[in-house]
Structure 1
């Protein structure tokens, strides 16, 4: 073992310390260099991460705005679709109502056709009845006018309550004292073709009974003969 008094010992120790120190300095420099490289690498990484995050944020913002735009468009389209559905429902309802109206119109047309056919039959029957009445009137005119001095007059009524043509049967040769004295009964024909006795001059109390009998028998000459008899009886009373 060397003595510490050996002058080389101090030199050797100093050399060893310097060598250790130099090694530590070199190690420190390597650490510093590595740390610097790591710091630069970290800064680059952080910068890249920040840039990526910023880009991602911008992309997300654009995507969010696009989604909002799509949502607004979707809401508008849904609103438009609801309106169209409502319009379609209204159109369908109108079509159904028109179909119902069409069915009603068809039924009414059929009813009108039936009523028209009934009216046609009624008119034909009334025409036949009127022709028969005309024949009766002609016979009655021949009998009463030529043999008994009766006159038939047509009277056209123009009042607001009564419109149409009436007949007046004018009797003469009733009163033996006044052969030219006039006795009148006025008649008309209703819409159903039946006779209607309007009045008599002078008034006959039994005229409603004679009218009822005329409606039952529809025999005008007999009615006029009965009226003449009543006028004669009244004139002689």
Structure 2
């Protein structure tokens, strides 16, 4: 062991302390360099992270804007679709109403066709009845006008009670004391084709009964014969 009284001891101690100090400084320098490098690396990492975060935020903002745009567009499309559905509903309702109206028109047309067919049948029946009456008038004309001196006149009535074309049957050779004296019965045909007795001159009390009988039998010659008999009976009273 070196004696502390050794004069070189102080120099060696100082030198050892310097070596230790230099080593520590070197170690501190290395630590500082490592710390500086770590700080720079951390700054770069933080900067990179901030850049990444900033880029991510921008991307998220763009994505959010895109989503909002899609959402707005979807809302507009839904509103447009709702309007189109409403319009389609109105069109369908209008079509249904037109179909119902069409069905009503078809039913009315069918009803009119049926009514027209019925009217045609009635007209044909009336025409046939009128033809029969014309034949009866022809027969009556032959019987009464040619053999009994009866005259048939066509007149046009202007009274309020009876309007239209009428026939006058003028009987002569009734009164033995006045063979040319005229006995007249006026008649026409109603809308339904039946006979209508308008008047007689002179008046016959039994004329309504004779008219009723004519309506039942539709036998005009028999009616005229009965009227002539009544005129003859009245003239002889």
TM-score for the superposition, normalised by structure 2: 0.79
Helix, strand or coil: the match of 1:7? coil
Describe the shift of the 1:144–1:6 C-alpha distance in structure 2 as closer, same or farther (beyond 3 A).
same
More deviation, 147-156/29-38: 147-156
Cα RMSD after superposing both structures: 3.3
* Partner of residue 33, structure 1: 33
More deviation, 39-48/156-165: 156-165
Describe the shift of the 1:41–1:205 C-alpha distance in structure 2 as closer, same or farther (beyond 3 A).
farther
* Partner of residue 137, structure 1: 137
Gaps of 5+ in 2: none
Query: Partners of 1:98 and 1:159 in 2: how far apart?
Result: 51
**Count of residue pairs the alignment pairs up:** 237
Helix, strand or coil: the match of 1:155? strand
Matches within 5 A, 1:120-135: 120-135=120-135
TM-score for the superposition, normalised by structure 1: 0.79
Describe the shift of the 1:42–1:203 C-alpha distance in structure 2 as closer, same or farther (beyond 3 A).
farther
- 1:176 deviates by 5.9
Query: Partners of 2:158 and 2:180 in 1: how far apart?
Result: 29
Q: 1:48-79: per-residue Cα shift (whole Å, max 9, x none)?
A: 22222222222222221221221222222222
Query: Partners of 1:165 and 1:79 in 2: how far apart?
Result: 76
Query: Partners of 2:221 and 2:128 in 1: how far apart?
Result: 18
* Partner of residue 66, structure 2: 66
Helix, strand or coil: the match of 2:2? coil
